Structure 1
Amino acid sequence: MTRKRILIVEDIPALALMYAGHLEKAGYEAVVVDTGAAVLRALANGESFSALLLDLQLPDIDGLELLRSNVDLLAKQPVIVVTADGSLSRAIEAMRLGAYDFLVKPLAAKRLLAVVASAIEAGPTIVSPVPAQSADPRLPVATPGGFVGSSGVMREIYRQISCIARSRATVLITGESGTGKEVCADTIHRESGRSGGAFIAINCGAIPENLLESELFGHVKGSFTGAVSDRIGAVQAAHKGTLFLDEVCEMALPLQVKLLRFLQTGTVQRVGTSRVDEVDVRIVCATNRDPLREVAEGRFREDLYYRLAVVPVHMPPLRDRGNDIAELAETFLQRFSREEGKRFGPLGPAQLAALKAYRWPGNVREMQNVLRRAAVLWDGPDLPLSALPSEPGAAPAQLAAPPLPMETAQGAPTPHPDLAAAFRGMTLDEIERLVITRAIEDAAGSLPTAARMLGVSASTLYRKRERWASAGEAA
């Protein structure tokens, strides 16, 4: 059987020999060169390689410039770049150019071999650049995954997904709550070469801090109270697939260190054991916070941020998606009316105007819930305006926000005389959700602060938010 050839581009002889030794011991044939010019000569002479291990600091050319000016390097074989720990930004740029992965010196043999094997299995990752979508909004657009909408901002999202899906780079999706971040992550997985593997989603904000490590990395029997059997974590469950970490900025700092170690080594260690297991997982993360602000204020590690944000994607709020509002509303109304065994006609000009005038603070998820409620409460064929938002910043009639309580001279709140009337027609669950959502907004998105304002534990809010998300997942 012909051994797979690996081209090592490294100008420090001791390091080149060490890499070659690891690879040859694993059954590969290692070919070593020390300059960018030697790489180009080898390819020009028709030599073929299963993978290329490229140091970014070469004596005759910068490694990034070599990739930029020689697309064939990426088109003919997967490229793995090697960098010093202080040059992560350069490694990230290499992945944006099409490199399969990057390794940080000093290289661990297991990590090197795991990445090389994974790169060979995936093959070349570079693709022809996807042209920007036409500025003509009349042209049809293919919407991937569970997305609905053909606005310019969403066409750009679809273009990005098409490029990202063919890479192994980690992705950080930002955007307000309800904009479809998980739909984006799931679509990246489905469009990628890992679609045959599992898509495992973990909400870092919904799991108590003391349990999140076990949920991610697994545990062995007896490692803590309640660990009645061995259990793999989400990372191992996503082997050969994609792990989606939602609300990643909610992760506690000690666990951020362990996540960073996993990203650096490609190995996991279950709680309660010293055994280390190798995994091949693509990481996609999401947050509704500003991650750079979280870094600046010390709540999120800067080195972890740069590891995760190799490819950033920002999901636009619904209010910025133009005619997508009408398209989404029509899609939701028809979908939910079928589920309820009802029939609704197309939305009229007045309904569409009301939908477009509303600011949609809860974005697509809020619209989904509004249209589901409308399909339940009304029989059709026409949808009354009272079922929809009717003015900028207003809530739907059934979910109108109650007025804030007035304060006495002593500062103690007293019940507003119309408070009960404002809640009339709402279920207890709806009232609770309204109050909690308002508290979270007042706390600038901080669940622990909102919990203190409401006099409950933060874990209570995390559980409720997870339950609401599961009950009404956005399209």
Structure 2
Amino acid sequence: MTSRPKAPSARGKASAGGSAPILLIEDTISLQMVYRTILINAGHRVVCAATAAEGLALFNSEKPSIVLLDLTLPDRDGLDLMQDMLARQANVIVIVITANGTINKAVEAMRAGAHEFLVKPIEEGRFLSSVDNALRDTTTAPIQPRTIMRQPNDLPEGAFIGSSTVMAQVHDKIESVAQSMATVFITGESGTGKELCALAVHQNSPRKQGPFIALNCGAIPADLLESEVFGHLKGSFTGAVSDKLGAAAAADGGTLFLDEVCEMLPALQTKLLRFLQTSTVQPVGATRPRKVNVRIVCATNRDPAEAVRRGEFREDLYYRLYVIPIHMPPLRDRGEDVIEVAETALQRFAAEEGRAFTSLSPQVRSMFREMTWPGNVRQVLNVMRNVAVLYDGTEVQPYMLPDDIAARTHVPPPQAAPEPGVGLTELMGLPLAEVERRIIEATLELHAGSVPRAARVLDVSPSTLYRKLEQWAKADQPN
């Protein structure tokens, strides 16, 4: 039985100390719940609003230092709301949240004084890094870095759950390189946990008490990327309403993580190379460089050597960065890790949603082993979150899974179907429901009991077959 998720209250849980909360303004209740949970689990105090009017009222009463603002609100344009907030409290830091269709408006918001913008869907690591960076700019005290070595049930580091040989090799390499100052270059498909790997390198290094600053080079418009990396001075360009500490300077004494580094424009690649050679940064509009002490970790889901061959990435920068490579393996190459990742995520999300789930059923385990998981660990986490929000029980059953799971399962070509007409005579005179059951059972037998394969042949959703099998099993039980 499904249950509708309840909308969260306007006020989040208060953290110890009673400091100014983070104000989250997001009209999609399901996303509001997810963002709020992430922030609370990271130790932040949060207040939430679903409309501009409610958000402005909370802004006036709570005096937040950071606002997470969705630009598309039902009762007012988010950009207008942001300008009202900045007029009332000039030092507030606003992080705008936008969908792909409103990128131009997000850039406009940055020029009007926003601190940063995030594009939906937002990765949890990226989300928390943005908040950490904003908090660093609101206080003179250094922020304690987020760690990778949390308790076993504390995701998002699901990418580091598992006992496969390939992941043991990754752990060993992280432990070996963490003590060094050498640049680490992480490669791997999207969703394999590259930022988590970077966090692990940082947290196991002598710099773990310093900041960990993450910057997604592929998610920032070209005209703002230099400012994001190196900072700018007030008045250096239109929209520069205050001095901004760039990511390189913010990471002084810690680690700077450059995600999707192969998406960096050639002009900025030149400046990054100079930064690596001199360890100095020069904000936009500044006349003098500043010396910083930063360790560089970068990542890409592309083949960096191929990017060099295509002329898209400087060869000298490639050799400067590609010192210690770490490859994050795709989930399909990690064997039974998929089950460990899924059940660990399930238990955490179940606790958050007040559910009783503890494990996957044998049928679901079999399905998960068959899947190629193109979205890797991120896809598994999304599936488990979906189940925990929509259903309840102790075991995850196949009918609880999203319908597209079967479509993403690697299914071998089906065996040849029986010749037309075979067995038709014995079906004559039977009720339609019984005919349906016999055809389904025969198809399952033909495909060695695999529900996904039988569903593909019958052109129905696997969840439909699982529901029917459960119904028949209950009907066949003696009273």
Task: Give the TM-score taking structure 1 as reference length.
Answer: 0.52
1:270 maps to 2:283: yes
Q: Distance in 1 between matches of 2:331 and 2:365?
A: 14
Q: Say which of 236, 243, 263 aligns to 1:223.
A: 236
- Determine the structure 2 residue equivalent to 1:212: 225
- Determine the structure 2 residue equivalent to 1:337: 350
- C-alpha distance 385-392 of structure 1, shift in aligned 2 (>3 A): closer
SS in 1 for 2:357: coil
- Determine the structure 1 residue equivalent to 2:359: 346
Say if 1:355 and 1:389, in contact at 8 Å, map to a contact too.
Answer: no
1:333 partner letter: L
Residue 274 of structure 1 and its aligned partner are, at CA, apart by 1.5
Say if 2:343 and 2:358, in contact at 8 Å, map to a contact too.
Answer: no
1:153 maps to 2:153: no
Deviations 1:157-199 (A, max 9, x none): 0000001101000011000000000000001000000001000
1:242 partner letter: T
Q: Distance in 1 between matches of 2:369 and 2:220?
A: 36
- Determine the structure 1 residue equivalent to 2:260: 247
Q: Distance in 1 between matches of 2:364 and 2:276?
A: 49
Deviations 1:118-161 (A, max 9, x none): xxxxxxxxxxxxxxxxxxxxxxxxx9976211100000000000
- Determine the structure 1 residue equivalent to 2:130: none
SS in 1 for 2:311: coil
Deviations 1:55-97 (A, max 9, x none): xxxxxxxxxxxxxxxxxxxxxxxxxxxxxxxxxxxxxxxxxxx
- Determine the structure 2 residue equivalent to 1:299: 312
1:200 partner letter: I
- Determine the structure 1 residue equivalent to 2:56: none
1:282 partner letter: R
Say if 1:243 and 1:283, in contact at 8 Å, map to a contact too.
Answer: yes
- Determine the structure 2 residue equivalent to 1:235: 248
Residue 203 of structure 1 and its aligned partner are, at CA, apart by 0.3
Q: CA RMSD in A?
A: 2.4
Say if 1:358 and 1:391, in contact at 8 Å, map to a contact too.
Answer: no
Q: Distance in 2 between matches of 1:275 and 1:391?
A: 55
2:365 partner letter: L
- Determine the structure 1 residue equivalent to 2:273: 260
Q: Distance in 1 between matches of 2:238 and 2:406?
A: 48
Residue 389 of structure 1 and its aligned partner are, at CA, apart by 7.2
- C-alpha distance 154-239 of structure 1, shift in aligned 2 (>3 A): same
SS in 2 for 1:232: coil
1:178 maps to 2:191: yes
Deviations 1:315-349 (A, max 9, x none): 00000000101100110111100000010142122
Say if 1:157 and 1:315, in contact at 8 Å, map to a contact too.
Answer: yes
Q: Distance in 2 between matches of 1:206 and 1:145?
A: 22
Residue 379 of structure 1 and its aligned partner are, at CA, apart by 1.2
- Determine the structure 1 residue equivalent to 2:448: none
Residue 279 of structure 1 and its aligned partner are, at CA, apart by 0.4
Say if 1:354 and 1:389, in contact at 8 Å, map to a contact too.
Answer: no
SS in 2 for 1:173: strand
1:315 partner letter: M
- Determine the structure 2 residue equivalent to 1:117: none
Residue 391 of structure 1 and its aligned partner are, at CA, apart by 9.7
Alignment of 1:414-429 (within 5 A): none
Deviations 1:257-291 (A, max 9, x none): 00000000110111011211000000000000010
Q: Say which of 301, 307, 314 aligns to 1:288.
A: 301
Q: Distance in 2 between matches of 1:393 and 1:233?
A: 45
Q: Distance in 2 between matches of 1:394 and 1:154?
A: 27
Q: Say which of 182, 186, 200 aligns to 1:169.
A: 182
Task: Give the TM-score taking structure 2 as reference length.
Answer: 0.52
Alignment of 1:5-404 (within 5 A): 147-388=160-401, 394-395=407-408
Say if 1:205 and 1:247, in contact at 8 Å, map to a contact too.
Answer: yes
- C-alpha distance 164-144 of structure 1, shift in aligned 2 (>3 A): farther
Q: Distance in 2 between matches of 1:278 and 1:393?
A: 54
Say if 1:194 and 1:242, in contact at 8 Å, map to a contact too.
Answer: yes
2:253 partner letter: K
- Determine the structure 2 residue equivalent to 1:52: none
Residue 384 of structure 1 and its aligned partner are, at CA, apart by 2.0
2:260 partner letter: E
Say if 2:157 and 2:193, in contact at 8 Å, map to a contact too.
Answer: no
Instruction: Tell me how many residue pairs correspond in the alignment.
Output: 257
2:207 partner letter: R
1:210 partner letter: D
Q: Distance in 2 between matches of 1:324 and 1:173?
A: 20
Q: Distance in 2 between matches of 1:389 and 1:296?
A: 41
- C-alpha distance 282-385 of structure 1, shift in aligned 2 (>3 A): same
SS in 2 for 1:215: helix
Q: Distance in 2 between matches of 1:256 and 1:326?
A: 41
Residue 364 of structure 1 and its aligned partner are, at CA, apart by 0.3
SS in 2 for 1:245: strand
Q: Distance in 2 between matches of 1:168 and 1:345?
A: 42
Residue 359 of structure 1 and its aligned partner are, at CA, apart by 0.7
Say if 2:189 and 2:301, in contact at 8 Å, map to a contact too.
Answer: yes
Say if 1:151 and 1:322, in contact at 8 Å, map to a contact too.
Answer: yes
Structure 2: any 5+ residue segments left out of the alignment? 1-154, 410-459, 461-479
SS in 2 for 1:298: coil
SS in 2 for 1:230: coil
